[in-house]
């Protein structure tokens, strides 16, 4: 703990990340198992008296992320719950409708403008609503999210304006808010590039070997979806090897 502020300052994050230990506050991390939420988990551990993780099984194509999220939560000895609901009934996304293919992309420049087909309608709004209910019931103060928009600006439910709107809804729509005990949505990475998020995580000792980004549904990345390409570029910009591929090679899976 004592060396983390120095490590962050050395990594160049002292002006962007608040180095505050919330001695008596509890945090709930929305934990998908990807790079951003994995970093959020380590970030929260250094700042809160108690940290727990909440994941969602919503019928996503890449449900393997949940199994590996459980692995990391066990390694960190953190309480971890998975809430289950089925957004396949809603459809409208390549991640929840198996009749819609995940787009295959050769170069990142081929990622088109507009809302991508891998957007799940209002997914993060649903996640935050469920997380707020969970946090209120469990007496948790803050909900920590790994949302960011620099590398993926076309997802409408990761923007700062969306977070502000959801915070307003939580303030108005919870008993905790009406009693003056605000449930905060904390999105510390929202103006950071994914490579910066990785470098921050590495400075905190994050292990990304169990983090899944690929949309295709397997533990071994397809390397042809937009998420795989963004992840590849981020690790290259971070100047180090992707922990996931290091583990997969060691286990003989690639």
* Residue 47 belongs to some domain of the structure: yes
Average pLDDT over residues 164-178: 95
Domain that holds residue 205: 4-249
The pLDDT of residue 143: 98
- CATH for 183: 3.40.50.620
Would you give the end-to-end CA distance of the chain in angstroms?
36
Do 231 and 35 contact (CB within 8 A), yes or no?
Answer: yes
The pLDDT of residue 5: 42
Average pLDDT over residues 61-74: 94
Query: How would you class 122 by CB atoms within 10 Å of its CB: exposed for 0-12, middle for 13-18, buried for 19 or more?
Result: middle
Of 91, 42, 51, the closest CA to residue 204 belongs to: 42
Q: From residue 4, how far is each of 7, 13, 71, 207 by CA, in Å?
A: 5, 11, 24, 16
The pLDDT of residue 22: 67
The pLDDT of residue 46: 93
Indicate the pTM of the whole model: 0.89
Which residue shows structure tokens 């692995």? Answer: 71
Render pLDDT for 4-42 as a digit per residue (tens, 0 to 9). Answer: 444 344 344 433 445 566 667 999 999 999 999 999 999
Tokens (6 digits) for 44: 């929260």
Average pLDDT over residues 192-208: 98
Average pLDDT over residues 207-231: 94
The pLDDT of residue 9: 42
**pLDDT-based confidence at residue 178 (cuts at 50, 70, 90):** confident
The pLDDT of residue 113: 76
The pLDDT of residue 23: 64
The pLDDT of residue 7: 38
Tokens (6 digits) for 152: 């993926």
Tokens (6 digits) for 181: 């005990």
Query: How would you class 118 by CB atoms within 10 Å of its CB: exposed for 0-12, middle for 13-18, buried for 19 or more?
Result: buried
Q: What is the mean pLDDT of the chain?
A: 90
Strands 184-186 and 142-144: parallel
The pLDDT of residue 51: 98
Average pLDDT over residues 181-206: 97
* Residue 208 belongs to some domain of the structure: yes
Render pLDDT for 71-129 as a digit per residue (tens, 0 to 9). Answer: 999 999 999 999 999 999 999 999 999 899 998 886 766 666 789 999 999 999 999 99
User: Considering Cα of 145, then 192, then 198, then 253, what sign does the dihedral take?
Assistant: positive
Report d(CA 206, CA 220) in Å as an integer: 20
Instruction: Considering only residues 13 and 51, tell me which one the structure prediction assigns the higher pLDDT.
Output: 51
The total of structural domains in the chain comes to 1
* Residue 132 belongs to some domain of the structure: yes
The pLDDT of residue 8: 41
Q: Above 80 in pLDDT, residue 1? A: no
Do 187 and 145 contact (CB within 8 A), yes or no?
Answer: yes
Q: Above 70 in pLDDT, residue 242? A: yes
* Residue 228 belongs to some domain of the structure: yes
* Residue 254 belongs to some domain of the structure: no
* Residue 161 belongs to some domain of the structure: yes
The pLDDT of residue 108: 67
């Amino acid at each position: 703990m004592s060396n983390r502020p120095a490590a962050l300052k050395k990594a160049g994050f002292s002006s962007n990340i608040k180095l505050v230990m919330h001695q008596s506050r509890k945090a709930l991390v929305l934990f998908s198992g990807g790079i951003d939420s994995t970093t959020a988990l380590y970030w929260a551990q250094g700042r809160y008296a108690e940290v727990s993780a909440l994941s969602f099984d919503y019928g996503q194509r890449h449900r393997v992320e949940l199994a590996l999220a459980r692995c990391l939560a066990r390694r960190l000895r953190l309480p971890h719950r998975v809430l289950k609901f089925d957004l396949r009934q809603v459809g409208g996304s390549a991640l929840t409708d198996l009749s819609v293919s995940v787009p295959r992309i050769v170069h990142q420049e081929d990622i088109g403008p507009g809302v991508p087909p891998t957007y799940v309608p209002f997914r993060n709004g649903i996640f935050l609503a469920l997380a707020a209910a969970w946090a209120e019931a469990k007496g948790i103060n803050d909900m920590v999210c790994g949302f960011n928009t620099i590398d993926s600006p076309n997802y409408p439910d990761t923007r700062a304006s969306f977070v502000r709107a959801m915070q307003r809804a939580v303030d108005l729509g919870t008993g905790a808010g009406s009693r003056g005990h605000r449930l905060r949505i904390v999105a510390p990475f929202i103006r950071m590039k994914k490579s910066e998020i990785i470098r921050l995580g590495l400075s905190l000792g994050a292990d990304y070997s169990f983090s899944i980004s690929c949309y295709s549904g397997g533990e071994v990345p397809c390397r042809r979806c937009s998420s795989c390409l963004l992840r590849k570029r981020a690790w290259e910009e971070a100047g180090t090897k992707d922990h996931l591929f290091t583990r997969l090679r060691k286990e003989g899976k690639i």
